Amino acid sequence: MAHEYHADIRWSRDGAVFIDNRFSRGHVWRFDEGLEIPASSSPLSVPPPLSVTRAVDPEEAFVAALSSCHMLFFLHLAAKQGFVVDSYQDAASGVMTKNEEGEFFVSKVTLNPKIVFSGSKRPLAADVDDLHHRSHHHCYIANSVKSEIVLGSADFSVV
């Protein structure tokens, strides 16, 4: 079964000369029923004011998509095993380096989840490790990229 996903990306020149390469990289991502997210190139790639520092850049979105996908599978698998998750936070990070052809790519994404469990069924460290392993294995985004994805300072507690 195939699934399709859509994003509507909109940018306009807004009167800039353009051919001098001094145009705003700010644009809008539109999803689903009209949700709009301000987007831009990374200020690390194109300096402000041509990049919009308060907007999401594609590299940040990539890291967030990997983290979110991993988390959603983790929550699903934890619930199936009878573990109650109260909160899940991840300070994920990505590193961009050059590939064999000398082109930049996000070569590594590190997930740093902090998970709080409660309830009568208490996970052991081995249970949490297994949940992370299976979450990575099932994550659609992780299965779609060649970036290395590692679990960094994963932490959990039971209250």
pTM: 0.92
Token digits of residue 12: 């306009």
- Which domains can be identified in the chain, with CATH numbers? 1-56 (3.30.300.20), 58-158 (3.30.300.20)
pLDDT over 90 (residue 148): no
CA-CA-CA-CA torsion sign (150, 152, 158, 159): negative
Contact 67, 92 (CB under 8 A): yes
Q: Which helix (H) or strand (E) holds 49?
A: none
Q: pLDDT value at position 43?
A: 95
Write the CA distances from 15 to 23, 54, 101, 145, integer angstroms. 9, 22, 36, 37
- Mind listing the pLDDT tens digit for each residue in 43-72? 999 999 999 999 999 999 999 999 999 999
Question: Could you tell me where the DSSP H helices lie in the chain?
Answer: 58-80, 125-138
Render pLDDT for 70-116 as a digit per residue (tens, 0 to 9): 999 999 999 999 999 999 999 999 999 999 999 999 999 999 999 99
